[in-house]
Structure 1
Amino acid sequence: MSHFKISVRAAANTKILFLSMIFHGLEIMYAIRLKKYQHHNQSFVAIVDENDCPYDPFVSAYLSTLVNQSFNTQLRKAIELMFVLQQFASYGIDLPGRMASGQLVNEKEYLLFYDASCVKKSAVENNVISFRRIGDKSLRNIISANHRRKMTVSSETVQGRIRRFREYSRWLFDHYHDLFGLDEVILNKFLRFESRIKIDEGSLGRNRSQKISDPLESVIPDDVFARLMEIILPSSSNNPFSSSKVRNYLIVSILCQTGIRRGALAKLKISDCYFSGTYDRIAIYRSGRDRTDQRLDKPNQKTKSHLVTVSPVLMRQIKIYIEQIRSRVPMRQAHDFIFVSEKNSRGTIGCPISLKSINAIFQKLSDVLQFSIHPHLLRHKWNEVFDKEGEAQGVDPKLLEDIRKYAMGWSELSIMNETYNDKRLALKAKEISLAHQKRMDGL
């Protein structure tokens, strides 16, 4: 009986400890947040507590190692790190303490984190399903399975969260331990721990998508794309915008004709346009710290510098916009960026257009088209058109891929083109298979 009482007491204490860990984790989860700020016209991101103070000196020091990377990269990594901090806090694990002691994180704790990394953050915070009114077990199983499927995040998200945990752990370990005088047992333990995580990262990178796309299916169906080109015209009666029609038309048109990213478009300057000669080129390049750009989320070109080609007609339209519309917007003299805010709802009139404003343009277009469309989708559409034109002109496939890499700003060693090359290969495989089947049917 005494043994039974001890077991009950131990179980109760375990439950109290477990609940304490959950409540502590939830407290941390809601207490910390991201903060974006500027200093000397450079954008930074921090993780702060409810009092707007730095959450942890180790976290702040780690984030300071990322300042030479693009702001969007800093922001993404800070979001990933915040997820890591919240999860391990919910398990009652002090990562700096673990790395300092050499105890590290055991297999069970890591698997808990891995599982949490595979689902949406909202699901981690509130993973509760009510079956009170559902009596059939098979139906409950189906609903539960569907619920888990909807909670699942992409492989890239899982990979990012796991990589952030590994890199932050490595940074903490190096901070606490002198690798030249480190106990060999602790070092080997950490290296095994690190290798275990790298294996998971690598497997996620090799299996990014389980979805098999139909090679005949366009990312934007032709009828939807045609409607987009019609409603974005400033003269269209179906244009959904009450103002800034010319600016929005030019934004969509440039993305369609060049396939550049949203960030590259937002940082285009008047001086980047070649208003001479063939009258059809725009320079795309990475910028250093631009003191004329006061935006907190400063856009930039992600890949290497190159020239893109637009039609001379579009180039003349850009020039007309600059001379006749942009020139009338107050405060535009402070910078050389082409596209500016034309409203003063938040005191931003004349300021360079923000990335959020570009997203808002596409959200409105999506609502009208009843089809989700965004800037990067136009990049994929550009590649589809590029393939068709290249094949129509009889361009050698290898040369076509080299041209694609230049046009997209990818390096010669980049494998990004494989995404689009696979689609063309799938189409060719289909053609050859159909020809073979017809020959076999005729035997």
Structure 2
Amino acid sequence: MRTLDNTLPITRSFRIRFTKFANGERMPMLLDGHGVPVYLPTLYVTTQIRNASKAPNTMLAVLDALRWLLRWADGRGISLEQRFKAKVFLNDTEIESLRAFAQTKSAVRGQARPKVIAIPRRTEGARLSRTASSPARISTNAHYVRLSYIAHYVNWLGNHILDRSRADEADRKSLARMATRIEMSRPRVRRGSSFAARRSLDTTAQQRLAELVRLTFPGNPFAMALRIRNALIISLLSELGVRAGELLALKIQDFDLQANEVIIARRHDDPQDPRSNQPVAKTLDRRLPLTPELSKAVYDYVLHDRGKLRRAKRHDFLIVTHQSVPHEGLPMSIKGLEKIFALLRSAEPKLAKLTPHVLRHTWNERFSARMDASNTTVADEEKMRSHWMGWREASGSAAMYLPRRTEQLAKQAALQLQTPRANGRGRHESQRCCGGQG
């Protein structure tokens, strides 16, 4: 029986921190236990990812994969730099070990926790203690991406080192084969089922969410001081279908409450944003209409709740932190928003998978239903959806929701085919062929 080496001892700690430069640019860095950037991963991300104009979140994903690579190498006592200088590349056993380790969710907590299994006394009369065979695993897609980043990095690292030594073509081919074997170890990513792909809330869950965040609802999980802000957050996400980053990047100046409109603006590397991990709009700028009720909710929050926080008056971001110092009044972070949704998920089983992006999917489902009811053409629906979501018309992003319409039309046609056809004597065809017997 083969044992997967996915609980290796960890000798060094690595963490990722965002750095904000004077011009507003944010860049994540991989730091060692002393808080010093790890040189080669930093060089790689700077030259290969940042200089290719990739987003900070892409750099973050790459560094997270490299953190797993370094943890694995530390656990096995491997120095990738020394190995590659000696032109000794990873073998198949080591690649299999890396593949298994890269699939785990947590390597810092490393060793699997012991579990005690109670055996009925009449059977054994003792208790059996064992160690869990494997820690929790990441999804297949995440595992695929992590190994892809690792394969690209080790190929770059090997060539970076070989360029500084006497390397022949055979060495470079060996390096390329190693990177290819890592890529081949990636799991096969199958296209998910259309049923599993549905991530929107059904009508019952939507109603339950609206009830849960109502200010006077007894089961509201939030403190009284936070209820107005959190209800506004849910309303903005539900009624506008914006991303979490777009919500947290909203400024008061983006709202025209007389015209009932809001501008979703791109402000990458905004020097006025104090957050090191800056929430940003991933899509195009656009102007969206607001209902009078939503405009009033924004006005009331700014005037009565946000206005009471002294530090909130020093910036223009709409959604702020209400907790005590030192963060009171500062723009809400991504982690702060995640905590709100974690509390909602724990408060209601029907909302177990609730995230800001689920609300974005829910908005799109409601939009599709409205387009169906108004007999809007597919082409017009795509154009309107692309505008609202901030997608380019030719990007094809809006087409991901067309299978839902196709499914509905197919269902209607199938039901019509299944409707029993009556013959001239008022009896169904099925009854006639069976002699009228039930």
Q: Please confirm whether the aligned pair reaches a TM-score higher than 0.5, indicating the same fold.
A: yes
User: Does the 8 Å contact 1:224/1:369 carry over to 2?
Assistant: no
The one-letter amino acid of 1:367's match is S
User: Normalization by structure 2: what TM-score?
Assistant: 0.79
Say if 1:103 and 1:401 are closer, same or farther in 2 by CA, change over 3 A: farther
Map of 1:200-215 to 2, 5 A cutoff? Answer: 203-204=188-189, 207=190, 209=192, 211=193, 213=195
What is the deviation of 1:254?
0.6
What is the CA–CA distance in structure 2 between the aligned matches of 1:300 and 1:38, rounded to whole Å?
14
Counterpart residue number, 1:424: 405
Q: Mean Cα displacement is larger for which, 101-110 or 366-375?
A: 101-110
Q: Which whole-Å CA distance do the structure 2 matches of 1:218 and 1:437 have between them?
A: 30
CA shift digits 1:321-344 (9 cap, x unpaired) = 22343233202232111112233x
Matched, 1:259 2:241: yes
> Gapped runs of 5+ residues in structure 2?
121-129, 422-427, 431-438
Looking at structure 2, the residues matched to 281 and 385 of structure 1 have their Cα atoms a distance apart, in angstroms, of 20
Q: Secondary structure at the match of 1:308?
A: strand
Q: 1:160-208 CA deviation, whole Å, 9 max, x = no partner? A: 21122122113313422449x963333334444444545566943xx25
Q: Which amino acid aligns with 1:381?
A: T
State the one-letter code of the partner of 1:50: G
- Indicate the residue corresponding to 2:124 in structure 1: none
What are the Cα deviations for residues 75-116 of structure 1, in whole angstroms up to 9, with x where unaligned? 332222111111233334332234444443333322332233
2:57 is aligned to: 72
**For 1:51 and 1:357, how far apart are their aligned partners in 2?**
27
1:229 matched to which residue of 2?
210
Is contact 1:84–1:161 with CA below 8 Å preserved after alignment?
no
- Which residue is 1:296 aligned to? 276
Task: Tell me how far 1:424 sits from its aligned partner.
Answer: 3.1
1:320 Cα deviation after fit: 3.0
Partners of 1:120 and 1:151 within 8 A in 2: yes
Is 1:34 aligned with 2:19?
A: no
Farther-moved stretch of structure 1 (84-93 vs 38-47): 38-47
> Are positions 1:51 and 2:31 aligned together?
no
Q: Counterparts of 2:144 and 2:386 in 1: how far apart (Å)?
A: 26
Match of 1:382 in 2: 363
Task: Give the aligned partner of residue 392 of structure 2.
Answer: 411
Query: 1:108-161 deviations in whole A, cap 9, x for unaligned?
Result: 3223322333343359933577697669xxxxxxxx9x976x833212210221
The 4+ residue runs of structure 1 with deviation greater than 6 A are 128-135
Alpha-carbon offset, residue 418 of structure 1: 5.0
CA deviation digits over 1:223-255, x for unaligned, max 9? 221121123233444433221322211111010
Q: Which residue of 2 aligns with 1:313?
A: 293
The answer on 1:86 being equivalent to 2:71 is: yes
Aligned mates of 1:77, 1:214 — CA distance in 2: 27
CA drift of 1:442 comes to 4.3
- Does structure 2 conserve the Cα–Cα contact (< 8 Å) formed by 1:261 and 1:376? yes
Query: Given that residues 71 and 107 in structure 2 are in contact (C-alpha distance below 8 angstroms), is that contact kept between their aligned partners in structure 1?
Result: no
Matching residue within 229, 249, 252 for 1:270: 252
Deviates more, 1:281-290 or 1:170-179: 170-179
Count of aligned residue pairs for this structure pair: 403
1:364 pairs, out of 327, 338, 343, with 343
Distance (whole Å) between structure 2 residues aligned to residue 218 and residue 91 of structure 1: 40
Cα RMSD (Å): 3.6
| Alpha-carbon displacement from aligned partner over 1:400-421 (angstroms, at most 9, x marks no partner) | 2333233222334545445433
For 1:197 and 1:397, locate their aligned partners in 2 and report how far apart those are by CA, in whole Å: 43
| Greater helix content | 1
Structure 1 residues 319 and 119, CA, compared in 2 at 3 Å: closer, same or farther? same
- Checking the alignment, whether the CA contact within 8 Å between 1:156 and 1:208 is kept in structure 2 is no
Match of 2:316 in 1: 336
- The whole-number CA distance in structure 1 between the counterparts of 2:155 and 2:379 is 41
Contact 1:26 1:90 in 2 (8 A): yes
Correspondence for 1:347 among 315, 326, 335? 326
- Which letter maps to 2:287? L
For residue 280 of structure 1, what is the amino acid of its counterpart?
Answer: N
Aligned in 2, Cα 1:125/1:332: closer, same or farther, shift over 3 Å? closer
**Aligned residue in 1 for 2:146:** 161
Question: Structure 2 vs 1, CA of residues 234 and 99 (structure 1 numbering), >3 Å: closer, same or farther?
Answer: same
Q: Which moved more, 1:94-103 or 1:354-363?
A: 94-103
Counterpart Cα distance in 2 of 1:418 and 1:203: 25
Residues 52 and 422 of structure 1, relative CA distance in 2, 3 Å threshold: same
CA contact under 8 A between 2:6 and 2:104: conserved in structure 1?
A: no
> How far apart, in 1, do the equivalents of 2:148 and 2:392 lie?
24
Q: 3-state DSSP class of the match of 2:29?
A: strand
Alignment of 1:36-185 (within 5 A): 36-40=18-22, 42-54=25-37, 56-65=38-47, 66-67=49-50, 69-121=54-106, 125-127=110-112, 151-178=136-163, 183-185=168-170
Distance 1:309 1:260 in 2: 13
Which deviates further from its counterpart, 290-299 or 397-406? 397-406
Shift of 1:291: 2.0
Q: Given that residues 219 and 377 in structure 1 are in contact (C-alpha distance below 8 angstroms), is that contact kept between their aligned partners in structure 2? A: yes
Secondary structure of 1:320's aligned partner = helix
Whichever residue aligns with residue 229 of structure 2, its letter is: R
Deviations 1:208-229 (A, max 9, x none): 54x55179x7732312211211
Residue 127 (structure 2) aligns with: none
SS in 1 for 2:256: coil
Percent identity, please. Answer: 24
Contact 2:10 2:108 in 1 (8 A): no
Change (3 A) 1:219 1:294: same
